[in-house]
Amino acid sequence: MAGRCGLYCGSCAVYRAYKDGGDFKKRFSKEWEMPIDEVRCEGCHALTEECHGSGCEIVRCTSSKGFEFCFQCPEYSRGGCRNHKAVAEDAAKYMTDLHSNLERIRAGDMEAWLSESKERFKCRSCGKSLSSLLWTESKCYHCNSSLDAAIVPPRD
């Protein structure tokens, strides 16, 4: 569940829409103008050709260079590439710091980070996993609880 770019795959909107299905998958499909049968993802390290992420530039780049994560690339140490910068800027809108996540993975703290991320992106009311996109929403798409009280706050 550790994305190559530093995203927690369990909070990725495509992954959550695919795994959770229902109205969230329908809404995601419509908002992203993607056929519903193409809303599919198994996580960055388990992609199939049918997965939306199989076309991800970061996945292609790291795979072509034989890297598991972006931080392994010399370009990342020099400030990052255009693709990673764009993804990191987008993730920051949803209170996710990809650089900090990658540094924790690099430092060997991946298991703790994954455990914390799983808890962070969980509704406090129903206990189900949520997409990071919900930081801009008001209600849980599983139980309709207010997210002001439903989502675990980010780690300091």
47-80 tens-digit pLDDT: 778 877 777 888 889 999 999 999 999 999 888 7
Distances (CA, A) of 47 to 53, 95, 99, 103: 7, 25, 23, 23
Distances (CA, A) of 44 to 54, 79, 86, 136: 8, 22, 17, 24
> E-strand spans in 109-149?
none
The predicted structure's pLDDT at residue 52 = 78
Whole-number average pLDDT of the chain:
87
Query: Which has the closest alpha carbon to 97: 25, 154, 137?
Result: 154
Instruction: Name the amino acid, one letter, at 154.
Output: P
Beta carbons of 36 and 28 less than 8 angstroms apart: no
This prediction has a pTM of 0.84
The predicted structure's pLDDT at residue 155 = 47
